[in-house]
Amino acid sequence: MTMEFRHAQLDNGLTIVAEVNASAASMASGFFVRTGSRDEQPVVAGVSHFLEHMMFKGTKRRSPADVNREFDEMGANYNAFTSEEYTVYYGAVLPEFQARLLDLLCDIVRPSLRQEDFDVEKGVILEEIAMYRDMPRWRVFESLMAQHFGAHPLGNSVLGSPESIRALRRDDMMDYFRRRYSPGNMTLVGVGNLDFDAFVDKARAMCGAWEPCRADRDLSPPAATGTHQVLRDEKVAREHIGLISPAPSAQDPRRHAAHLAASIAGDTTGSRLYYALVDPAIADEAATAYEPFDHAGLMFTFLTADAEN
């Protein structure tokens, strides 16, 4: 098995990278967009995640039903997700569907953003926020991020709030899309059994006319607050504890050591936390994870147990 790493860039700034493996049984492709809750102003809190949903609501060439049907006709494993710093759209298919998958992915990241679809999907987003607020672990994580990062944009909620989503307008989303989904702020990735030259040619035909614009990001370093907070909810039977501390950034060469340290200290099985707390049944979960961000980073530890423990 020989891996071949390829790179290309279109004139408008779109970066294309691939890990080609001719012996693989499938191929996958996706757009990584360098935008997330970190890049939002309070007036549009939650717009990155909302926009992710809208990508599947149709384009000039496809209806929402067409988008879902075409993924299914290829037998694709596909999805999307939004984080603090990235929004990702991807699909995995058999190699013979390479061109068709790329055509669909390139099309959906230039959505119609119709007002009627926006109005309907707003209700879906509000339901999703309500669903996550019923999850104690999610509430702990959101509170931790807000406490740790304070006014720094990394403390922004990925989902936004019910108030910010209700107030969001379709024109606000369109303006955000035009600024953040610039080709120079996106990377097209391919992996597996793919034809890279054909991959680039298809991307050039589909994406070469996209207009570039600046998509800046606040890279000011966060200041750790060193605070604590207690949230009480009589409806929750377990105690959920979270800790955050600063760690190396995604650009720091020490990030590899940080990944290793997190695994040794708090991997879900076989770590020091596991044998100290989970194995003897003091806690049902105890884990540490390292999260590298753009010019920032954190160690996140999460525990759940009976309150008496």
Which DSSP string corresponds to 133-158? HT-HHHHHHHHHHHHHHTTSGGGS-S
Mean pLDDT estimate for the chain: 96
Query: Can you give the pLDDT at residue 251?
Result: 97
Tokens read off for 236: 């929750």
What average pLDDT does this structure show over 184-198? Answer: 98
Residue (of 70, 57, 176) closest to 119 by Cα position? 57
Q: Is residue 224 over pLDDT 90?
A: no
Tokens read off for 245: 């501390």
Classify residue 212 as exposed, middle or buried by CB count within 10 Å of its CB (0-12, 13-18, 19+).
middle
Question: Of 52, 70, 85, 291, which residue is the catalytic one?
Answer: 52
Q: How far apart are CA 183 and CA 196, in angstroms?
A: 19
Q: Tell me, what DSSP letter sits at residue 92?
A: E
What average pLDDT does this structure show over 212-239? Answer: 90
Q: Is residue 1 over pLDDT 80?
A: no
Paired with 92 in beta bridges are: 28, 77
Q: How far apart are CA 266 and CA 268, in angstroms?
A: 6
Query: What percent of the chain lies above the pLDDT cut of 70?
Result: 100
| pLDDT tens-digit series, residues 20-69 | 999 999 999 999 999 999 999 999 999 999 999 999 999 999 999 999 99
Query: Can you give the pLDDT at residue 2?
Result: 81
| pLDDT tens-digit series, residues 249-307 | 999 999 999 999 999 999 988 999 999 999 999 999 999 999 999 999 999 999 999 99
52 is known as an active-site residue: yes
Residue that is written with structure tokens 């307008």 in the block = 169
